[in-house]
Amino acid sequence: MKNYTRLFVLAAGLFLFAVSARAHVYLDPKAPMEQRVEDALSRMTLGEKIAIIHAQSKFSSPGVARLGIPGLWCTDGPHGIRAEVKWDEWEQAGWTNDSCMAFPTLTCLAATWNTDMALLYGKSIGEEALYRGKNVLLGPGVNIYRTPLNGRNFEYMGEDPQLSAQMVVPYIQGVQQNGVAACVKHFALNNQEDGRHVVNVTLSDRALYEIYLPAFQAAVQNGGTWSIMGAYNRIWGQYACHNHRLLVDILRGEWGFDGAVISDWGGVSNTDEAIHNGMDLEFGSWTDGLTEGRSNSYDAYYLALPYLEKIQRGEVGTKELDDKVRNVLRLIFRTSMNPDKGFGSLCSDAHAQAARQIAGEGIVLLKNESPVLPITADKKSILVVGENAIKQMTVGGGSSSLKAKYEISPLQGIRERAAQNGADVQYVRGYVGDIVGEYNGVTTGQDLRDDRTPAELTAEAVNAAKQADIVLFIGGLNKADHQDAEGYDRLQYDLPYGQNELIAALAKANKNLAVVILSGNAYAMPWLNDVPALVQAWFNGSETGHALAEVLFGDVNPSGHLPFTIFPTLEDYPSHQYGATAYPGINNEVEYKEDIFVGYRYADLYGQKKPLKYTADGRQYTINPPKHKPLFAFGHGLSYTSFSLGKATMNGNTVTVGIRNTGSRQGKQVVQLYVAPRKPGIVRPKKELKAFRKVSLNTGEEQQLTFELSNDMFRYFDADKHEWVLDKGTYDIYIGTSSANPETKIEYTVK
């Protein structure tokens, strides 16, 4: 009898809970979002509201357990799902099931110039995050490539706001279709790692709106990102994580963002500013979110007890708090309380194929004389030289460091593919760079120590090169401090570890030399004229070796195009022509004195005799023309086949151009459209990228591509009026395959 009574009580309890749950609108996923938010908000205590807007562990924030609202779990990074760390420490948690698929870095994704690849990338990494129980993916990054010394450029999408904007949107959509939020970062102007916690950036409003904000705006208004991460640096004297103009005026006021603003870890530094200036969810490392202190210190965060005590003392009201909670609740309902999300998948064959495909499509063939590539079946003796041929690159580099399930090295991929041709592959070290393979407890297990002198290593490489049919030098940068790594900028523009001298020696020893560079940044190439083939291969994750081998042997026709300009010297970059005031700053003050002339916008001034002098936002700007042409232009990329563009035609506001594969094999080409004002009323770049299309063509195949012109393509930002302005007049529409190669031109009149 007692058992029946217990069953009755249990059933009655479940019934009452169900009735009660139905009365809670916030638990009904079919109810309108704002109704759910307001219902949940009305049921929360003051303490619960404070708790929900700051972290409870290194990567999680609490929900409201009393109301059945789960918290949020965040994860680095934009290239793969970070290994688990302990609750309150950065040390590894020691899990054996937290390995991931390492995807190519975002420089590689940008180099594909293919929005389909961006969607595939986002979908795949979102599935991995979902499987691991993560609600917020801390990425992607869309900060503009201003200086090649920025150690974090490999996490971003290049120098052009239009390319970044078009690539970030499908990435976000791919992630969020899994019920996982993208957290686009770092908002904004995080363009250097040197002094990133203290540096104060000043720039013209025009540069802000034309160069540094468009990708973020596209992420919000076109991608619908559910969260945004603030940056560490200051802008106009106020920290980005509680910068009123950025977060309140622009992000919410002008763009209508309804998601949550999440701090970078330790990016909050002032309670009052965080309350009033748009910060929603504070994460960090220690007591103040940045420096070391007592453990379990989350109640001491700026938006924790200090905020609560201000409310209790009557110093501030709860309006701002309620707005923050609304934004966080919206994020929770879209992610951790999203009933439509599936289960995801981890390290699947589909993800491996996606990583391999993205990597192969992002690899850029910069130069190929003779041609040396692809490697033909008659090359039976192949020599591979260079540390980067064997060094694991998924570990290190900062927050994007990964515990990959596997990583195919370039040497392994080349050996596997060469075996199909019956070729022998020999490897010699060539140089010794970074022998450490550890970050936050994740280790590669590699022992890269080598006590030989540079002279001994070079001599071995040169002697072996003389005997080989073809030499593949695989070098570049790595993920060590002061290379491509968070927290550190590069110390030099040259390749490190004596690679320049080694490449020059190899070029003398064997005319069939292909140089393959793994990096997320540009570099000096004093050996360029002596090297017949050059490949930019990025940091390409788990499938690095397979993707590279497919390109080198011609199984995949290279179709990547550069997402940034490569100049001969560091001084050729506009940000490095004004001394320390423009980079890295004087007394932590950095002024963007190159203004809107970043990357190819600056390169296009080559040959101009006089400097540009103009005033913007009350500042005087003097832009001296470049002394040297770029080594490789923005948008440049070669193929193993050839293409020809027809003559552009205009019908209304539609531009049509034909493209034909005139070579002997299938290939892909990137067609780029640039807009150039013929007689601008103010100082403007000579031309700007406004649209692009990647097309695949078989031998002899031709396609007609159309581009729709819109008024937005011709506007510039007027800081005095604080609005986008459209000048009537004649514009030239250039269509080509790089910023330096406008193959066809047609005029268009804006009335």
Tell me the catalytic residues.
264
What is d(CA 218, CA 240) in angstroms, rounded to the nearest whole number? 19
SS3 35: helix
**Short-list 105, 228, 118, 108, CA closest to 173:** 118
- DSSP bridge pairs for 660: 644, 702
What is d(CA 576, CA 578) in angstroms, rounded to the nearest whole number? 6
Are the beta carbons of 149 and 90 closer than 8 angstroms?
no
Are the beta carbons of 384 and 426 closer than 8 angstroms?
yes
| Contacts with 251 (C-beta within 8 Å, 6 or more apart), sequence order | 187, 216, 220, 228, 257, 261, 278
Residue with tokens 């020696």: 505
Are the beta carbons of 725 and 716 closer than 8 angstroms?
yes
What is d(CA 255, CA 62) in angstroms, rounded to the nearest whole number? 28
**Short-list 240, 257, 355, 325, CA closest to 43:** 325
For residue 122, which amino acid is it? Answer: G
Are the beta carbons of 159 and 144 closer than 8 angstroms?
yes
Are the beta carbons of 463 and 430 closer than 8 angstroms?
no
Is the backbone of residue 653 left (phi > 0), alpha (psi -120 to 50) or beta?
alpha
Q: Tokens standing for 497?
A: 């570890």
Q: Tokens standing for 746?
A: 């047609």
Count CA atoms closer than 13 A to 215's CA, side-chain side.
31
| Integer CA distances (angstroms), 331 to 127, 347, 499, 621, in order | 18, 27, 48, 42
| Integer CA distances (angstroms), 113 to 6, 221, 393, in order | 64, 21, 23
Sign of CA dihedral 630, 635, 637, 641: negative
Kindly provide the residue ranges of all beta strands, DSSP E only, lying in 329-469, ordered along the sequence: 364-368, 381-385, 424-428, 438-439, 442-443
